[in-house]
Structure 1
Amino acid sequence: MQTVSRSFTDFEIGETRTTTGRTITEADIVLHAGQTGDWFPHHVDAEWCAGQPFGQRIAHGTLIVSIAVGMTAGDINPRAFSYGYDKIRFIRPVHIGDTITVSAEITGKRDHPRRDDAGFVDELVTVANQDGETVLALTHIYLVER
């Protein structure tokens, strides 16, 4: 990781970045189930899943959100802070053994309604599987100093 110092005016609408891949493992799913208490059979019961339309275990959507956000957090910017996430959509299932990559694009900038020293930057985060299919999309909102 490196430290960068980008202010609100340094972000350009349309700029993009893409991560390398990361393969989702059974250990990822089991650890996430233990951390969240979400032991629904869709995620952890291979026999039950075999009889379902999706045919195999699926990763928790919240696990994929967490991994995707972590994959895009390569630089530390002390002038920008995560403000939250909007429009999170779980578009396709992610299975054990799938490899995901993350693309992020700056799609919007706007003034903070009460602070002259900050603004909001929107980043569209799109997660794709090894077949190039979009599995998840969200908007990451940053609060950024001017």
Structure 2
Amino acid sequence: MEKKQFFEDYRIGHIRHSPARTITETDIVVHAGHTGDFSPHHMDAEYAKHTPFERRIAHGTMVFAFGIGLAAQSANNPGAFSSGYDRIRFVRPVFIGDTLKSRITIGDLKTMADNPDFGEVIEQIDVVNQKNETVLTASHVLMVERR
């Protein structure tokens, strides 16, 4: 089990990095099956040749899911509970063969007047590709136990 981190242990500006994951055609096909999103710009190589990207692109929702999964691999705090994600943006397309990592920066710390046992930690999650280009960005809101 990971060491418990309390709200008071977090520092604005602290950055951690996740492991990497390479996107495969199987990832896209499985995600389409899970979601029912069989749009041709994800699934049809011939159709995709005539789009601005000239090839199939990964689902934004898949990139989001992989990005937050990678972020979770870099920290498992038993004293933190996710409250959700805000301001999710798909910044650049992701293609088969791209390798993604998540960069997680502590952006803000807020006390909770209505719940003094917890503080709110805002993590900025930036999913980057192998060129270190941001492909997705989101804010993750965590409730973290206080000492």
1:109 aligns to what SS in structure 2? strand
- Identical residues among aligned pairs (%): 48
Q: Which residue number corresponds to residue 51 of structure 1?
A: 50
Indicate whether 1:82 and 2:82 are aligned: yes
Q: Choose 5-14 or 112-121, whichever is displaced more.
A: 112-121
Matches within 5 A, 1:1-146: 2-74=1-73, 75-146=75-146
- Deviation by residue 1:72-102 (Cα, 9 ceiling, x = unmatched): 1123222101110011000000000111111
TM-score (norm 1): 0.95
Take 2:46 and 2:115, find their aligned partners in 1: how far apart are those partners?
A: 54
> SS in structure 2 opposite 1:43?
helix
Measure, in 2, the Cα distance between the counterparts of 1:15 and 1:124: 10
What are the ranges of 5 or more consecutive residues in structure 1 without an aligned counterpart? none
Q: Name segments (4+ residues, structure 1) moved above 6 Å.
A: none
Shift of 1:21: 2.0
Unmatched tracts of structure 2, length 5 or more: none
What's the offset of the Cα at 1:132?
1.6
C-alpha separation between the residues in 2 aligned to 1:63 and 1:54?
Answer: 18
SS at match of 1:21: strand
Q: Aligned letter for 2:115?
A: R
Number of corresponding residues: 145
Deviation (angstroms), 1:113:
4.0
> Structure 1 CA distance, aligned partners of 2:51 and 2:17?
33
